[in-house]
A and B are shown apart, each in its own frame.
Chain A
Amino acid sequence: MQTRRFFNEELQKLKLDVEELAEDTKVVLGTAVDALYNSDLTTAENIIANDYVYNEKEQRINDAAMIMIAKQQPVASDLRRLIIAIKISTDLERMADHGKNIAKATLFLGDDHPISIHPSIKEMMKIAIEMVDIAIKGYHLEDISFARLLAQKDDQVDNLYGQVTKDLLELTATNPDQIQYIMQTAYTSRYIERFADHITNIGESILYLVKGVSYDLNE
Chain B
Amino acid sequence: MPKLDKRTINEQEYDKPNMKKRESKEIRTESSEFNTTETLMNLKNLSVYYADNQAVKNIDMPIEKNKVTAFIGPSGCGKSTLLRTINRMNDQISVARYEGEINYDGLNILRKEVDVVTLRKEIGMVFQEPNPFPKPIKQNITHALKFMKKPKNEIEEIVESSLKQAALWEETKDRLNNSALSLSGGQQQRLCIARALALKPKVLLLDEPTSALDPISSAKVEDLIMELKKHYTIAVVTHNMEQAARISDNTAFMYNGDLIEFGETSRLFTNPREKRTEDYISGKFS
Contact = CB atoms under 8 A, between A and B. Distances in A.
Interface in A50-89: 73-80
Given A76-B269, A151-B19, A211-B14, A144 B9 contact: yes
Given A73-B242, A76-B278, A146-B1, A215 B286 contact: no
A144 B4 contact: yes
A3 interface: yes
Interface stretch (B20-28, B155-163, B192-200): B20-28
B282 A78 contact: yes
A148 B19 contact: yes
Interface stretch (A40-48, A108-116, A122-130, A135-143): A135-143
A76 B265 CA distance: 11
B281 interface: yes
B285 interface: yes
B278 A207 contact: no
A9 interface: no
Contact of A219 (B17, B283, B285): B17
Interface string B158-197: 0000000000000000000000000000000000000000
Contacts of B149: none
B106 interface: no
Interface residues of A, number: 36
Contacts of B112: none
A1 interface: yes
Contacts of B9: 144, 210-211
Contact of A212 (B19, B270, B283): B270
B18 A75 contact: no
A216 interface: yes
A174 interface: no
A73 B17 CA distance: 36
B248 to A, nearest CB: 13
B284 A4 contact: yes
Contacts of A216: 19-22
A160 interface: no
Contact of A3 (B25, B241, B283): B283
22 contacts: A1-B286, A3-B285, A73-B242, A75-B245, A75-B269, A75-B282, A76-B270, A76-B281, A77-B282, A79-B269, A143-B4, A144-B4, A144-B6, A145-B1, A151-B18, A152-B18, A211-B14, A213-B25, A214-B24, A216-B19, A216-B21, A216-B22
Q: Which 5 A-B pairs rank lowest in CB-CB distance, beginning with the nearest?
A: A212-B271, A214-B22, A1-B286, A151-B18, A219-B20
Interface of A: 1-4, 73-80, 137-138, 141-148, 151-152, 155, 207, 210-219
